[in-house]
Amino acid sequence: MGSQKLTVARVRTIYARQKPGRFGPLYRAAQQATRGEAPQRSYPCPHSSERLQRDLHAMSRPETGAIALILHNPLVFEVLDQFLVSPLPTSHPMAGHPKARGLTLPTSSGTLAIAEKLGLFSSHPFTSRSRDSTGDDEHPMAIPYLGDFMIFLTDSVGPYAVDVDVKGRMGDHGQPSPGGWQQRNSPREIKKAAVRLAIVNEYMRELRIRTVRFAKSPQDTQLYENLTQLLQRHAHHVTLPPNVHADALGDFMECVRLGRPPMEVIGKFHRLGFNAAQVKLVLEQAIYVVVQLNRTAR
């Protein structure tokens, strides 16, 4: 997600939220999914993640689809949503994470140094000069670019990071943000998008982080809708007693192992007097876990 023209106070808030080394429930997105912070022509929506124990912030429907797909991947152990692409020299995004302990990670010189190296410094975004609450001049601050999602994964080789760049359609990456026809085709906006792409690409190259370009495919609409619905069910509270919740989850996992229909479990607990919708909710919230266990068994 590209940066809007921001005030000094707003940029300071972004830096305060994005202190390095915050993961899991301590992480705070630079840009929150609220109408006051989200770009115009966007569809901001926070999505609760049981795995990360916090909300993930989507600024568009394609980003919601990306979150649903990311959390469906059992290799993902952390997601930095709406993350800061640092103007100043910075450590690797995984630095300080327990899973990265012992790794030698590259660093970045920051977008200001990169812009200067590429001959693009005059095009790097800055805040306008303004006055603070005391009436004194405030010097312009570098406005950071914001990435969509930085995901951490681990496999047989070890942990690594991937930058996920989300757009509504393939071919929109590196193009101006959604807007009216005049804005999308403005030479000024096209140049801003090209400058951003060049700087962020070099930033990721310095960190040795691969960028994956994501856009919802019309052929996969049903998959995204199903995953998004499961994702949204995480925001609902299960009211079943803890022991019943555990028993139902165990029965669902046994169904997966044996290839039996989940409706058998829902019917069993319904006959015992428990709300069928609540029992179904246990299954919907556990889908990611069940899928991981099923894949591991294979």
pLDDT tens-digit series, residues 89-127: 999 999 999 999 999 999 999 999 999 999 999 999 998
| pTM value surpassing 0.85 | no
Rounded to whole angstroms, the Cα distance separating 181 from 174 reads 16
The proportion of the chain whose per-residue pLDDT surpasses 90, expressed as a percent, equals 60
User: 48 in helix, strand or coil?
Assistant: strand
- The helix/strand count (H/E) of the chain reads as 9, 8
Residues listed for the chain: 298
Contact 177, 39 (CB under 8 A): yes
**Can you give the pLDDT at residue 285?**
83
Closest to 76 (Cα-Cα) out of 67, 85, 84: 67
Q: Do 167 and 217 form a contact (C-beta atoms < 8 A)?
A: no
253/60 Cα distance (integer angstroms): 33
CATH topology of domain 8-218: Trna Endonuclease; Chain: A, domain 1 (3.40.1350)
Q: What is the per-residue pLDDT for 4?
A: 47
What number of other Cβ atoms are within 10 A of residue 262's Cβ? 18
Q: State the DSSP H helix or E strand holding residue 292, giving kind and residue range, or none if neither.
A: helix 276-297
**φ and ψ of 145, to 5 deg:** -70, 150
User: Does the structure show a pLDDT above 80 at 133?
Assistant: no
Confidence at 228, pLDDT banded by 50, 70, 90 = confident
Q: Where are the domains of the chain?
A: 8-218, 236-297
Average pLDDT value for residue range 55-70: 92
